[in-house]
Chain A
């Protein structure tokens, strides 16, 4: 039972991350392999603030959301100035630098061994200690993020975002800001990643740099690609299926050193095959 709850919680967390990536990659077409870095910053901030009793969970999460929004905007800034391909390099670079920081800023992050003993989240007088309580919290967070995503897509701003992706010049000619639109989307994407990060820390009560490295960024990207770009349902379906995959792999007997690589091999295959045969993913639109 607790295993199933853990799967549910992780699916909700990764669905939030997939939506965050969907905003950048699917909606405005900014390639990103640094979402795990933002996710990590959110997790470390919430963990650090609550562990040292600076503030309770919710205010800590708000701080993390603000920091991650700013950080994601900073990371997206080069994409406004340089052509798409250059931004690939900055995105990879940001992710690798973030991992280096997570490992080396030992006084903040606990280094490679990470932070353990992250306290259970306390919201007003309700304390989420048991797995099912964390599950409710995660699903509520996913519902909130999904609602935001849905409302945004239906709003005039959502139309503007689509227009930016399709034809930047037309948007400029209509007197709307292309840059400001992209930056606002990046900021919202950052807050989503921060929420996921905060939840991840309290769910496992332990975080380390490996949870936020480049492979996690690729996993999130694969989830989004699997479900499909620019859809809410796709970003929820992707994590549900891809997180069930390791359990299916347990059915065939693999040597323990191959489990990680086999999983990543499958994610890589999914990325290639979907781009070749179904670029819209299962439920989405063409990327």
Chain B
């Protein structure tokens, strides 16, 4: 029993790190631009399918991941230039932007459903099923990929936003876009930069989580929902908050599997979220 519980917690931890990547990339873009980028879930899906497609053509998984990140980076930039920038120029309401973003999500997820398959797909790579044993817990190589890439990217993003000049610019634009405009920080360029980074990260998240579990065109929105809950609970703009809460939510979801059937886990996460925004709408890690 203890071993079973430990295994559930370990699985939750790994999935949480994967979702954490979605959350940190979402919060980077959202806190900087103020656009609630629902289409992020579409880029997540696109990344997963691109990596899968390349792997089926016997490209090594690591290389396929990098290529998927590059493809999503370009797709994200296209969305930014063709949709969001244009809407900004026409002074569209946040609601209009949100609806357009939802449209992009639908285009992306149905595009992969048409090009590949609307059904569940597994990565063909043979080694992903290999297992290592840590005490009573077994982790598959695919899970190690999720955890490893997640922690490395999290650390890299933290270092980037804290230590580099570009990171400082992002934070400046995030805290006051108007002031950034008049001090010639060129928020528009910063928006492009955060879109590129966020899209590349979410592509890796999609590929890694898909590698571990399976890929499906319409699950992106569910993952994004948990991620955005983590973003809000962690405090908008807090990368650490988003990452930690993602892990917490995922571990909690798995821990409750002991007492509650898995089909109720969405309801549980969501109930927690409602309670949270009513009690502490500014988030746990908010610094503003």
Residues of A within 8 A of B (CB): 25, 29, 31, 33, 78, 81-82, 84-86, 88-90, 92-94, 96-97, 100-101, 103-104, 214, 218, 221, 225, 257-258, 260-262, 264-265, 267-273, 275-276, 279, 286-287
Q: Which of B100, B107, B264 contacts A276 (CB 8 A)?
A: B100
Q: B264 contacts A264, CB within 8 Å? A: no
Known: A270-B103, A272-B83. A89 touches B110 (CB 8 A): no
**Minimal beta-carbon separation of B78 from chain A (angstroms):** 12
What's the dominant secondary structure at chain A's contact region?
A: helix
B83: chain A residues at CB < 8 Å are 272, 276
The answer to the question of B284 belonging to the interface, with a C-beta cut-off of 8 Å to chain A, is no
Q: Complex: how many Å from CA A273 to CA B30?
A: 22
Residues of B within 8 A of A (CB): 30, 36, 38, 83, 86-87, 90, 92-100, 102-107, 110-111, 113-114, 117-118, 217, 221-222, 225, 228-229, 232, 263-264, 266-267, 270, 273-274, 277-278, 281
Q: B273 contacts A33, CB within 8 Å? A: no
Scoring B94, B103, B111, B229 by chain A CB atoms within 10 A of each residue's CB, the highest score goes to B103
Closest to A90 in B: B274
B94: chain A residues at CB < 8 Å are 84-85
* Inter-chain pairs besides A33-B102, A96-B225, A100-B267, 6 sampled, C-beta below 8 Å: A25-B95, A81-B277, A86-B281, A97-B267, A103-B263, A261-B114
Q: Complex: how many Å from CA A261 to CA B274?
A: 32
A-B contacts, 21 listed (Cβ < 8 Å): A25-B95, A29-B95, A31-B98, A82-B281, A86-B232, A88-B36, A88-B38, A89-B229, A92-B225, A93-B225, A94-B270, A100-B267, A221-B99, A261-B114, A261-B118, A265-B111, A268-B104, A272-B107, A275-B103, A276-B87, A279-B92
Closest to B36 in A: A85
Q: B264 contacts A100, CB within 8 Å? A: yes
Q: A93 contacts B93, CB within 8 Å? A: no
Q: Complex: how many Å from CA A257 to CA B277?
A: 40
Q: B232 contacts A89, CB within 8 Å? A: yes
Scoring A89, A90, A92, A258 by chain B CB atoms within 10 A of each residue's CB, the highest score goes to A89
B222: chain A residues at CB < 8 Å are 96
Known: A82-B277, A261-B114. A269 touches B103 (CB 8 A): yes
Q: A93 contacts B273, CB within 8 Å? A: yes
Q: B221 contacts A268, CB within 8 Å? A: no
A262: chain B residues at CB < 8 Å are 110, 114
Q: Complex: how many Å from CA A262 to CA B118?
A: 11
Closest to B232 in A: A86
Q: Complex: how many Å from CA A81 to CA B225?
A: 19
Q: Complex: how many Å from CA A97 to CA B104?
A: 23
Q: Which of B36, B114, B266 contacts A265 (CB 8 A)?
A: B114
Q: A104 contacts B110, CB within 8 Å? A: no
Q: Complex: how many Å from CA A271 to CA B38?
A: 13
**Minimal beta-carbon separation of B280 from chain A (angstroms):** 11
Q: B263 contacts A104, CB within 8 Å? A: yes
A261: chain B residues at CB < 8 Å are 110, 113-114, 118, 217
Closest to A222 in B: B103
A269: chain B residues at CB < 8 Å are 103, 107
B107: chain A residues at CB < 8 Å are 265, 268-269, 272
B278: chain A residues at CB < 8 Å are 78, 81
Closest to B82 in A: A276
Q: B232 contacts A100, CB within 8 Å? A: no
Q: B106 contacts A97, CB within 8 Å? A: no
Q: Complex: how many Å from CA A58 to CA B31?
A: 49
A86: chain B residues at CB < 8 Å are 232, 277, 281
**Minimal beta-carbon separation of B188 from chain A (angstroms):** 18
Closest to A92 in B: B225
**Minimal beta-carbon separation of A213 from chain B (angstroms):** 10
Q: Complex: how many Å from CA A268 to CA B112?
A: 13
Q: Complex: how many Å from CA A101 to CA B266?
A: 10
Q: Which of B93, B98, B111, B277 contacts A78 (CB 8 A)?
A: B277
**Minimal beta-carbon separation of B155 from chain A (angstroms):** 27
Q: Complex: how many Å from CA A213 to CA B232?
A: 25
